[in-house]
A and B are shown apart, each in its own frame.
Chain A
Amino acid sequence: MIEAEDLTKRYGAKTAVDSVSFTVKPGVVTGFLGPNGAGKSTTIRLILGLDAPSRGSVTVNGKPYRDHPAPLHEVGALLEARAVHTGRSAYNHLLALAETHGIGKQRVKELIDLVGLREVSRKRVGQFSLGMGQRLGIAAALLGDPQALILDEPVNGLDPEGVHWIRNLLKGLAADGRTVFVSSHLMSEMALTATHLIVIGRGRIIADMPMDQFIRAASKRVVRVRSPEGAQLREALLAPEIEVIDIEPGLLEVSGLTAAQIGTAAAERGIVLHELTPKEASLEEAFMELTREDVEFSARNEQAERDALGASR
């Protein structure tokens, strides 16, 4: 269980996370979705106590992360930025982290096997591919057999097999009753693993709801209509709240009406239809629709934000 209350983080003039409150519950995979720069990584750093909040608080399993006697047993985290000394081997990296909690070599070796790094575990981490680095990060996150997992963009750089593995791993961890909090900027990835969704844009929570509800709320229903009498049909359907877009001659996309309503209207006027297809907007489209303003904002202000960050560090 992760609970954030009025969580706020400012870096100089820039507010990276703005009065965010949410609860991540155990037993399900909760997706943390937002465009790049929306505040996902900052929120995760605040949960782990790597950054101190400017205002508000966040607890993990009832306490601030740093107050737990065995932090790695409470939360296992995979951070977006690499957190590994490049000159150290994967084995020594994991063992050094394990030793802070009295975790033995056996568990470290088993985790190396679990994430599929056995052959390279004595190699310097600097020689690892991005995908191998992610697998190492996941092994580190699992070291303490944590009640909660926080993974920032875990599928980044993984091959398809690795992506598939991560999805199953996350679902299995949630099925164990653990809290699983996974960030991504890709809606399609979230849709395959998460059952609950928290969407963040420009440092604020935009949506916090079950995945299926989000899909229903966010997607715009569109009906594809093919007709040799496109112009007449357009005339027949046009009304306030109803949008008709010409995709190509004889092909329309209608939003605001169901396929049945369109079919009935066409029949009443004797208009011939060759196709009538209800089309659900893809999740990616729904997500982009929801966060469009934030993305535009962040693109415009990217330079200014970088300057502000540089000045505050």
Chain B
Amino acid sequence: MSTDAAGGTQLAQLSAFPANGRVTQVRVARSEWRKLWSVRSTRYSLLALIALTIGIAAIAAAVVAARYPQMSPRARANIDPMKVTLAGVQLGQLAIGVLGVLVITAEYSTGMIRASLGAVPKRLPVLWAKAGVFGLVALVVSIPSVVIAFFLAQSLLSSHPQLHLAFGAPGVARAVIGAGLYLTVVGLMSVGIGTILRSTAGAIATFVALMFVIPPLMNILPTSWNDTASPYLPSNAGQAVMSLTHGANTLAPWTGFGVFCAWAAAALAIGAVVLIRRDA
């Protein structure tokens, strides 16, 4: 360590600060890209997302294929091959949701947020960069995962022509790709929730409540209320896009997905407002 010399003269020998050195949105995005990939939780969560989405689809398809010959006609009629194929999305969304929360709350729990906002004191570029970079990564990981899950599950179900879904059949590609889009928006909404709440535990609890706990609880409401409100809950609305069947109490695929995007946009917008207003 050559630490014993006058600081000023040492500094003069360093590579100069660049002449065009200033904060831009693209540079903040590059910084967030590095932040995302330089902590372990990113790889672990994304591996969990891939493993759950593909693994659970494979298990579900294998179980259905093995039991199909013994099933009653009624039970057979109840099997929705698209649901089997996308069974892993239900747990996969937990992995992407937790990672989306951590992208921002880990900065608060470690104090990193002070360095981040110190470098970018206008603050909003940090949130947009986080959402943009993470959304892109979530999309690039989710789409192949659900496509692989689809073809793997379909190959396991291939012994039963009744369960076969052609990728080109009406609605099938939309449902599969839609599942990938759904996972991406789950991640974006979690970034918003994390920004609003700042605490990892609080944000994950809120995410789980919103996506997993509240939807079944709606059944305790009077039926007419439940039927009116339930389709607009984030998970129900968002999953309309990954379903081939639509009843009276579900939204149309892209309408539902639009409602879900509005939830995510609201979470990010509230996050943006509080990020600007609050002390860091």
- Measured CB to CB, the residues of A under 8 A from B are 45, 48-52, 65-66, 69-73, 77, 79, 81-89, 92-93, 95-97, 99-104, 106-107, 110-111, 113-116, 140, 142, 144-145, 161-162, 164-165, 168-176
Contacts and interface: CB of A to CB of B under 8 A. Distances in A.
Interface stretch (B47-55, B117-125, B148-156, B265-273): B117-125
- Residue from B4, B14, B17, B30 having most chain A Cβ neighbours under 10 A: B17
Q: Which 3 A-B pairs have the closest CB atoms?
A: A169-B7, A172-B8, A172-B7
Interface residues of B, number: 50
B15 A100 contact: no
B30 A176 contact: no
B18 to A, nearest CB: 5
B114 interface: yes
B210 interface: no
A97 B119 contact: yes
Contacts, number: 169
A100 B120 contact: yes
A87 B40 contact: yes
Nearest to B9: A172
Contacts of A48: 118, 121
A77 to B, nearest CB: 6
Nearest to A115: B3
A116 B1 contact: yes
Interface in B36-90: 38-41
B121 A71 contact: yes
B6 A100 contact: no
A85 B121 contact: no
Contacts of A73: 17, 21-22
B28 interface: yes
Contacts of B28: 100
A272 B239 CA distance: 100
A145 B3 contact: no
A93 B5 CA distance: 25
A82 B109 CA distance: 11
A200 to B, nearest CB: 19
A50 B123 CA distance: 10
B115 interface: yes
Given A102-B21, A175-B8, A85 B110 contact: yes
- Residue from A65, A79, A101 having most chain B Cβ neighbours under 10 A: A101
A45 B117 CA distance: 11
- Residue from A72, A84, A92, A96 having most chain B Cβ neighbours under 10 A: A96
Given A50-B117, A104-B18, 9 more contacts: A51-B279, A77-B118, A83-B112, A84-B111, A88-B38, A97-B31, A99-B30, A101-B119, A176-B8
- Residue from B12, B14, B118 having most chain A Cβ neighbours under 10 A: B118
Contacts of A49: 117, 121
Contacts of A45: 279-280
Contacts of A169: 6-7, 10
B39 A87 contact: yes
Contact of A173 (B5, B7, B39, B119): B7
A66 B23 CA distance: 11
A121 to B, nearest CB: 12
A162 B114 contact: no
Interface string B99-134: 000000011001111111111111000000000000
B35 interface: yes
B8 A50 contact: no
B11 interface: yes
Contacts of B31: 96-97, 99-100
A96 B35 contact: yes
A174 B26 CA distance: 34
Contacts of B20: 102
A50 B28 CA distance: 18
B121 A145 contact: no
A116 B11 CA distance: 14
Contacts of A77: 118
8 contacts: A50-B117, A79-B115, A100-B119, A101-B119, A107-B17, A140-B115, A171-B6, A171-B8
Nearest to A137: B115
Nearest to B106: A85
Contacts of B11: 114, 142, 145, 172-173, 176
Nearest to A66: B121
B27 interface: yes
A87 B16 CA distance: 29
Nearest to A81: B111
B4 A164 contact: yes
Contacts of B246: none
B121 A65 contact: yes
A85 B18 contact: no
A169 B12 CA distance: 12
Contacts of B2: 113, 116
B112 A84 contact: yes
Contacts of B24: 102
B121 to A, nearest CB: 4
Nearest to A69: B22
B34 interface: yes
A218 to B, nearest CB: 29
A82 B38 CA distance: 18
A50 B3 contact: no
Given A84-B112, A101-B119, A172 B10 contact: yes
B280 A84 contact: no
B8 A161 contact: no
